[in-house]
Chains A and B, each alone.
Chain A
């Protein structure tokens, strides 16, 4: 599984959860993402290791100049979790559209293989 495929999965699942209004599942979703962030045991990497014995199948590794010794994909998990969690449980109804926005962008990033947030994080200096 590549990060791209995983984004399609993340976006689709989040859209489904938002559509059906299953907040407890959304909570579980965020916990999974935060787990990935905290441990760097990202699902695409784990699947690739399991299937191919090599994590390179999860996707390309950025080899440019990096400022932080921290994967952009890992940081992306944190950003997604924070965006969804804050907009649902902290701000609430006024930001009801924000989780939808995150879901659309995740799905779009997966489908087009162009992830603005990933690009921004790499620009900032994540590897």
Chain B
């Protein structure tokens, strides 16, 4: 948008410097000067002729006057003749006067060359005694031209005075009516510019100035409103900033505490004197705290996605009964551990299926129920499910008999990084993000999340989400009409063995071993190749039921290999294995032709689910594998301790470890930072998978240092890595049948 500006021209013929009042007056005065000059010329036109006529008339009058005077005074008062003539000249406006009767001559007034003598005039009169006499009268006047000029000058002087007086009046009145209000407005605007936004112009006139004042005031009101909004926004931003600072402080505590526990307990695992029970207990602690860390990080990732508008929701059919069943499974253990009743009530009718995002809806409910259990020391947590068929919504009320909240706390709990009370963080932990994320997710699911609560009585969270149209959905009206639900898998549940031929494309031998181990757990063996090109060749040569494709491999990466296979008509499912967990990475894998994506570190349960999805169950039904009871399987390390096969894999890993450390050390001496970074990155990923979190931590530091080409730090860290390696090698005995494992 182009900026509108007033440009002041330095041409003073266009940019008059005088005030508005003077300008208006000047224009008016010009017009008046023109008109008055023309009027003057017209008015004074023929003045000389008029003067001549007047002279003649006065001459006649003076002559008659003189004859009358002679009639009664000629004989008796002739000695006063000159006085009489002077009076006569004055009365009729003559400069001089001369009378001659016979030989007698009388004069009165002025007689000089500048005067003009009128033609001699004959007079006849009768004296007191009746005698008749004759004489002459000569009158003297100033020249006509001189008197005309005098008249003109006086007239023009009068015009000038009138114009000056009128001009002054006009300036005064224009100044009062036009300029003064404008000056006042300018002064007001100047003060407003300096920040006095409460000033207003008087709207006491119904003219252009009145409109100007009205609009100006309106503009100021608008500015005030905007400023108020900005101040509020600033306050909100400051509060958010403060909340984020608090959050960072909390987060650092939240991250450091479990991390310290993980590192501490991991270190104890190196102790050869540790008993089996202690060893298992420590591993479980590591798993639990690791899980907590994962939750914290997931919360942050979710919030980041929501704020960046990158969270894409699914809209798929979901059975509310199935959802509630899974929720019960997830919550029951926790509730039982705290001796709290966990109840789910249905207020019928309930649709058998709704359209929503199951993952996110479950996430909200888990958060609400988790909070309810967390803040309820004893009593009951109840979930009431009710559908509004007309509104196409379903609501879940999570009611607890816990510590409750004040009104002020209720107002705060949905804000980012905020909990009801800072003491909550200290006592119960948490990031203060769960409810904020839940409310946003609820809104994204076309619903809402609200809360009512009373201190020491309990809280009631009401979640409402859109269900899609329920017009043609079957409704369950009684408890006995509830559909069968698939009971969520218990961690202790047995898993059927699978069958099928699997091609594994993975360049890292340790990852190959790990995945092969996991495949063997479900009775499947795999053909391994270590780059995409070999994977393509193998898939074309042999028949496979499933391909597990690492995305980052030398020679040809997994994406390209998948694309080639799909282009060539390869129809078996391909599962991408990648350390990049972002949605766009997943999308890229799917776009290249992969059917599913498994992220590293591998979630064993998810991995086995994926295998079950694409492979057929083994013919022998009794041939099942049972996972370790009492805890969820998350990583391979979860199932390693009692498994000699995994011990074997650790041995292989440790046997290869010196070579991997050398792969870092050699390029480090040559300062080939790219190679150092790549080698450290590889070892970082593998170490954690085999339970050597300290290897992962040090390798991560080396990777960072290599990125900064920090040779000294790299060498120090490398020394630490060597110590860890030696400690690990001396602690772990290498399995005698490792050769078989590595085949």
Contact = CB atoms under 8 A, between A and B. Distances in A.
Interface of A: 15, 18-21, 60, 62-64, 96-97, 100-101, 104-105, 107-108, 111-114, 116, 118-119, 122-123
A62 B9 CA distance: 11
B741 interface: no
A97 B40 contact: yes
Nearest to B25: A112
A20 B157 CA distance: 11
A97 B41 contact: yes
A108 B156 contact: no
Given A96-B152, A104-B33, A108-B30, A113 B11 contact: no
A60 B10 CA distance: 10
B37 interface: yes
Given A21-B149, A113-B17, A114-B26, A101 B160 contact: no
Given A62-B12, A114-B16, A19 B153 contact: yes
Interface in B9-45: 9-13, 16-18, 22-23, 25-26, 29-30, 33-34, 37-38, 40-41, 44
Contacts of A118: 13
Contact of A62 (B13, B40, B167): B13
A104 B26 contact: no
Nearest to A65: B11
B147 to A, nearest CB: 11
Given A21-B149, A64-B11, A116 B30 contact: yes
Contacts of A104: 33, 37, 160, 163
A100 B26 contact: no
Contacts of A119: 13
B interface: dominant SS: helix
Given A21-B153, A63-B10, A112 B22 contact: yes
Contact of B13 (A96, A105, A123): A123
A46 B192 CA distance: 45
Contacts of B44: 96
A96 B10 CA distance: 38
Contacts of B160: 15, 104, 107
A interface: dominant SS: helix
Contacts of B11: 62-64, 122
Contact of B37 (A18, A62, A97): A97
Interface of B: 9-13, 16-18, 22-23, 25-26, 29-30, 33-34, 37-38, 40-41, 44, 149-150, 152-153, 156-157, 160, 163, 167
A122 B12 CA distance: 9
A108 B160 CA distance: 10
Contacts of B25: 112
A122 B15 CA distance: 13
Interface centre among A101, A112, A113, by most chain B C-beta atoms within 10 angstroms, is A112
A41 B10 CA distance: 25
A112 B18 contact: yes
Contacts of B9: 64
Contact of A100 (B12, B22, B37): B37
B20 to A, nearest CB: 12
A112 B180 CA distance: 18
Contacts of A64: 9-11
B547 to A, nearest CB: 81
Nearest to B17: A113
A62 B40 CA distance: 36
B153 A18 contact: yes
B33 A101 contact: yes
Given A64-B11, A112-B25, A19 B33 contact: no
A114 B23 contact: yes
17 contacts: A21-B149, A21-B150, A63-B10, A64-B11, A96-B152, A100-B40, A101-B33, A101-B34, A104-B33, A104-B160, A112-B23, A112-B25, A113-B16, A113-B17, A113-B22, A114-B23, A118-B13
Interface centre among B11, B150, B163, by most chain A C-beta atoms within 10 angstroms, is B11
A124 to B, nearest CB: 10
A127 to B, nearest CB: 11
B395 to A, nearest CB: 77
A69 B19 CA distance: 31
Nearest to B33: A104
B29 A112 contact: yes
Nearest to B10: A63
Contacts of A114: 16, 18, 22-23, 26
Given A96-B41, A97-B40, A105-B30, 9 more contacts: A19-B156, A63-B10, A64-B11, A108-B29, A112-B18, A112-B23, A113-B18, A113-B22, A114-B26
Nearest to A63: B10
Nearest to B42: A97
Query: What 4 pairs across the A-B complex have the smallest Cβ distances?
Result: A112-B26, A119-B13, A64-B11, A114-B26
A103 B13 CA distance: 21
Contacts of B22: 112-114
A60 B18 CA distance: 13
Contacts of A21: 149-150, 153
A72 B112 CA distance: 49
Given A62-B12, A122-B11, A108 B33 contact: yes
Given A112-B26, A113-B17, A113-B22, A19 B10 contact: no
A19 B13 contact: no
A105 B33 contact: yes
Contacts of B157: 15, 19
